[in-house]
Amino acid sequence: MFPCEIQEQPTRPTLSIRFRSPVGELPTHFGRIYDAIHQYVEKAGGEHAGAAFAIYYNMDMDDLDVEAGFPIAKPLPASGEIQAGEIPGGAFAICHYTGPYDNLSQAYEALTEFAGGKGYAPAGPPYEWYFDGPDVPEKDQRTDITFPVKRVKESA
């Protein structure tokens, strides 16, 4: 139901915007942010290099601290509220989830349990990667939940 894996990821340049929001307002922010970054990348002659992402620096559903953006093929400079950055390379625990966002908490639990069972602990904030837009039915929306991991023990 929640396929999980540990995978090495390369360092990836990004463009993103960091903001604070209650969970119920995320779709409005995401729509504006992803559109603004998409337009900037196009205007700057850059290329997207993957799905839209969000990094969650806390899990306070009334005041989430979120960074939303895209990996890009080659670094581009910051512009206004759009910041240039990178997703560090290394080992990541990944859960491939399909379904409504309301059930993501179950995928988070499955991923945390999977990583622990493999001898890993989270080593940074979680990321959500969104492969489908709002035009896709909720039951078919694909999301990868990831977080960087560090080995804490040999798996059984």
Strand, helix or coil at 99? Answer: coil
Q: Find the distance separating the first CA and the last CA of the chain, reported in whole Å.
A: 22
**Which element (helix H / strand E) includes 104?**
helix 104-117
Q: How many CB atoms lie within 10 A of CB 142?
A: 14
The 10s digit of each residue's pLDDT in 106-145 is 999 999 999 999 999 999 999 999 999 889 999 999 999 9
Fold of 4-151: Multidrug-efflux Transporter 1 Regulator Bmrr; Chain A (3.20.80)
Q: Domain ranges in the chain? A: 4-151
Q: What average pLDDT does this structure show over 70-82? A: 97
The 10s digit of each residue's pLDDT in 88-112 is 999 999 999 999 988 999 999 999 9
Q: How many CB atoms lie within 10 A of CB 15?
A: 26
